[in-house]
Amino acid sequence: MRLLRTPTFFLVSVALALGACSPEADDPPTTTTTISQSSTSTTLADDAEPCSSGDLPFVSDGLVGAIGAADGDATTVTQIRWEPGIECERIVVSFATESGAPATSLGPSGVTNFGFAGLIRVTLPEGVVATSVADMLTDGALLETTYVVRDESDALTIDLHGSDGVPLAARAFVTGSPASLVIDLVRDPNMAAPSGAAVAGTAVVVTPSSGPGLYPFIVSAYVQPGLRTVTLQLSSGDVIALDRTISLDGFTDAWQSFETRVDDGPGGQSVLFVGQVDPNGRPIDGASISLDLP
């Protein structure tokens, strides 16, 4: 299972010593996975270890960094590149300006490690309003899937989901001219295995996590681009105690996030479903979470 409510990020002013960060690896592509307009790719670094240098610390939980310039010209996510290594994996995000030229700087951004969920979240600046990338499957030893998500306020985030049961530590920095956001990931042997998000073809549920729960709880999730509605059901046995339809804007460029509160429902062993249903209300594609409720 995976994810709950998406916390609101307050970007703090942090002075990061970026001069010691590792340089971008040479990237002659060996394999390319196209999601949208050749917007994603996988590249093996020359030394097979993309983040083997630099002294920027890796963070196991919480704020990884408040990064970016006070003002930036980046307006569009154009590419997400994955660089696998032996003990480290790197994600490089590229940007363009409003005119389509490569961006020279990225505005204020935040990177947070939600250790409990095995999730690294990038909060992009207000100026980044479009994306050519919706998602990318990497299926790496550390990183499994990356989603670009548009929230209910129209802001964009990037969610990096770790492989099942892998606790992650991350560091992040930006480069300029052209602008890119670099996130390095390593396994953290001192952290417990994360619960992870519940991931399905049409839906990703961050919270609640499977297991014991309490009312009320917040369902924090996102669904695939283009959908206009999503169904939330809470059932106990064969009885559907809650059947709620969530309206969406139908954005086609990114996954669409939503949050909804569940105040009451069945007790004991229950199943929360988020996804698509048939005309008779039976689930056909979505994420299911097992809950033990009072």
Mean pLDDT, rounded, for 69-73: 94
Mean pLDDT, rounded, for 62-83: 96
> Which region among 52-61, 159-168, 264-273 has the lowest average model confidence (pLDDT)?
52-61
pLDDT score of 48: 60
pLDDT score of 163: 94
User: What's the chain's average pLDDT?
Assistant: 86
pLDDT tens by residue, 183-230: 999 999 999 999 889 999 999 999 999 999 999 999 999 999 999 999
pLDDT score of 6: 39
pLDDT score of 290: 97
Within its chain, how far is the Cα of 257 from the centroid?
A: 11
Helices (H) and strands (E) in the chain, counts: 0, 21
pLDDT score of 47: 52
* Per-residue pLDDT at 279 exceeds 70: yes
Paired tokens of 225: 């681009």
- CATH 2.60.40.650 intervals, the chain: 198-293
> Which region among 2-16, 46-60, 111-125, 278-292 has the lowest average model confidence (pLDDT)?
2-16
- Asked if 242 contacts 192 with a C-beta cutoff of 8 angstroms, the reply is no
Distances (CA, A) of 50 to 34, 67, 145, 262: 22, 20, 19, 43
Instruction: Mention every residue, 6+ apart, whose C-beta is less than 8 A from residue 267.
Output: 236, 293, 294
- Asked if 185 contacts 89 with a C-beta cutoff of 8 angstroms, the reply is yes
> Which region among 45-54, 128-137, 189-198 has the lowest average model confidence (pLDDT)?
45-54
* Per-residue pLDDT at 7 exceeds 70: no
pLDDT score of 117: 92
pLDDT tens by residue, 76-106: 999 999 999 889 999 999 999 999 999 999 9
- The topology under which CATH files domain 198-293 is Immunoglobulin-like (2.60.40)
* Per-residue pLDDT at 171 exceeds 80: yes
Radius of gyration in angstroms for the set of CA atoms belonging to the chain, rounded to a whole number: 19
- pTM, rounded to two decimals: 0.83
Of all residues in the chain, the percent with pLDDT exceeding 90 is: 78
pLDDT score of 285: 96
- Name the residue among 163, 165, 172, 166 with its Cα closest to residue 187: 166
Instruction: Mention every residue, 6+ apart, whose C-beta is less than 8 A from residue 16.
Output: 56, 65, 67, 173
The confidence band for 45, taking pLDDT boundaries of 50, 70 and 90, is very low
